[in-house]
Amino acid sequence: MQCILMNKNIEVLTIEYDTATSVFTRIYEVKNINYAPYILNSFYIEDDINDTPFRTNLSEWFKGRGIPSWRDKLDLLLHRLNITAPYELLDKAFGLSLSDQYWLKPVGSNISYDDINFFDNDFDYAEFMEASLSTNSKIITKESSLKTPNNTTDGMLKKAWIIEDGTRYLLKGGYKNEVLQPFNEVLASEICKRLGFDHVEYTIDIYKDMVVSKCPCFITKDTEFITCYQIRNDMKRYNNVEDYEEYIKKLEENNIKNAREKVENMYILDYLIMNEDRHLNNFGVIRDVNTLKWIDVAPIFDNGQSLNIEYYDEDEVHISGSGRLFYEEKPFDEIIKVVKNLKRIDISKLDGVVEWFDDLLHKYQYLTKMSDNRINRLCILLNRQIDKLRELILKNS
């Protein structure tokens, strides 16, 4: 299929798309490379647009928009959607997403971005939500149910976009039989709110006796989310400067105000809740798709893999753990050292948050079946991390 890669209303590339493999087999013309996905910047060679690295990374970027092969209970989801592989969904709705404004326009088509984007236009989500989150679901029969932004959701957790009162919300469940992820998201929101960190607000919701987290979309039809992974690919390399410092420098070069402090806030939160999964695709920047100016660091989101979620057992409290600092896995006590000024944190604002979390977990205990012992252990871990941060702040005073 010959089509045009669009960024909102701007033509970026004329390309050949193989619907059977979700691969771009040929690039016919570069229309406006500046509006291409950011990750392609470092691969573009003007005199050889079909150079393998550029075209390969274009295909990998597009495939990366889809549901990944490691999605929890993927086989069941595919059965309910009546498809054989996630990539079959990618062109069902022109490749549209709620994270950016890219889409595929068939050559010769008169369709416009305003007609189809999911920020302005409603979409069916009930059947897809049931297929994703429900323990019992029928096979989807309506073709319109496959024309949604749910086709372009990454990550391992079961999830679904819905619309309530005109707002787009993302629902996320736990992983397999684990129920803690939604509560960790809400805890992270509460901590951020108390400490004044910019964040995506998560709440608890119930879907068919299942506890899920719920958050609004933080992207608008005039912005896009550019991940740290994409940015890092375009950064210069310095032998004596860590990736973290390079990233801060890149943000500052693009006029992001208080860039270091905002990134530090994310790692302070990760320390407090022992977030094990701060990978390079769940933080980054927000860019204006019309002017291409970087607006700000993206609000903190995706904090579910926390509080030793992978190591819990009924017999032992694990008091150590590791998080991520770019590609490196490091103890949390090492990661927190990247924060240059801990004195600015008013730790007293977290007074009572442990009790608040205990109440939250007990409130939904009738659904989660989480034991009193586990709830107590989680609160012990949280209280311990707050105390440790308090000690670090005193040492730096």
Predicted confidence at residue 66, as pLDDT, reads 85
Residue whose token pair is 């087999």: 25
Axis crossing angle, helix 181-195 with helix 259-273, rounded to the nearest 10: 130
The answer, yes or no, to whether residue 394 has pLDDT greater than 60, is yes
User: Do 335 and 321 meet the contact criterion of CB atoms below 8 Å apart?
Assistant: no
Evaluated on CA atoms 8, 9, 12, 15, the torsion sign reads: positive
Of 227-231, 358-362, 369-373, where does the model show the most confidence? 358-362
Q: Reading across the β-sheet that carries 2-7, which strands appear in turn?
A: 23-30, 10-18, 2-7, 102-106
Using 50, 70 and 90 to split pLDDT, how confident is the model at 118?
A: very high
Per-residue pLDDT, 209: 82
Instruction: Write out the H or E segment, with its range, that includes residue 383.
Output: helix 372-395
What pLDDT digit, counting tens, does each position of 146-193 carry? 789 988 888 888 899 999 999 999 999 987 778 999 999 999 999 999
Residue 142 has pLDDT above 90, yes or no: no
Whole-number Å distance between alpha carbons of 311 and 297: 31
Name the pTM for this structure. 0.93
**pLDDT tens digits, one per residue of 271-323:** 999 999 999 999 999 999 999 999 999 999 999 999 987 666 665 556 668 99
| Domain residue ranges in the chain | 1-63, 223-395
CATH of 223-395, one of 3.30.70.1150, 1.10.1070.20, 3.40.640.10, 3.40.50.300: 1.10.1070.20
Quick one: what percent of the chain has pLDDT higher than 90? Answer: 66
Least confident segment among 166-175, 236-245, 313-322, 381-390: 313-322
Local confidence band at 241 (pLDDT 50, 70, 90 cut-offs):
low
Q: What is the mean pLDDT of the chain?
A: 90
